[in-house]
Amino acid sequence: MEIILQPIETDLSNDILNLLYNSLLTEFHNVNVTIAPTLKVDIQNFINKQRNQLQSPILLHWILEKMKPTKEVKVLVICDMDAYSGELNFIFGEAHLRGRVAAIYLARLKPEFYDLEPNELVFYDRVTKEAIHELGHSFGLFHCNNKKCVMHFSNSLYDTDFKNKIFCKNCKNNL
């Protein structure tokens, strides 16, 4: 199995990509992780102009068609934008259950989005949790009732901050 970290649109700091690389190697055993070069796209094709948000399902479909990952490959798109999906006003990330493509959206994971002081440690913690969570879905895991499990649904940043960066015992066994 392989996980490809695919930054799009803007160049992300190597700190974020290296953090994700190491975190994913730790949490997903027997998986190779690769950091792909930034994919330049016309992001305006994916923006709902009335909402000024990226439409996640359209981006995920486009990435799936463009990259055509096999069933042994999971692509995690990392996008520094605000996004939504369906009836949800915003999302931190999205994945198709047992799918080959997932995405995390960094905008709302940053304290400064909420007019708070930047905090790299908090931001990196949130990014790691969302990446592991979305990849968990792509590997077939559902949301977990254990509020400390990384697979617990995050309805708010409070939920994200409360949970751990790892799978609970039950989710780990199901992985």
Residue 84 tokens read as: 């939504």
| 150 touches 165 (CB < 8 A) | yes
What single DSSP character describes residue 8?
B
Told to judge if 87 belongs to the known catalytic residues of this protein, a careful annotator would answer no
**Nearest to 77, CA basis, from 163, 4, 128, 153:** 4
Please identify which of the residues 27, 94, 130, 134 carries the catalytic annotation.
Answer: 134
How far is the C-alpha of 46 from the C-alpha of 11, rounded, in Å? 18
What is the identity of the amino acid at 64?
Answer: L
What is the identity of the amino acid at 80?
Answer: D
How far is the C-alpha of 41 from the C-alpha of 80, rounded, in Å? 13
Region for residue 163 given its phi and psi (left: phi exceeds 0; alpha: psi -120 to 50; beta: otherwise) = beta
Distances (CA, A) of 14 to 38, 70, 118: 11, 26, 18
Residues with active-site annotation: 134
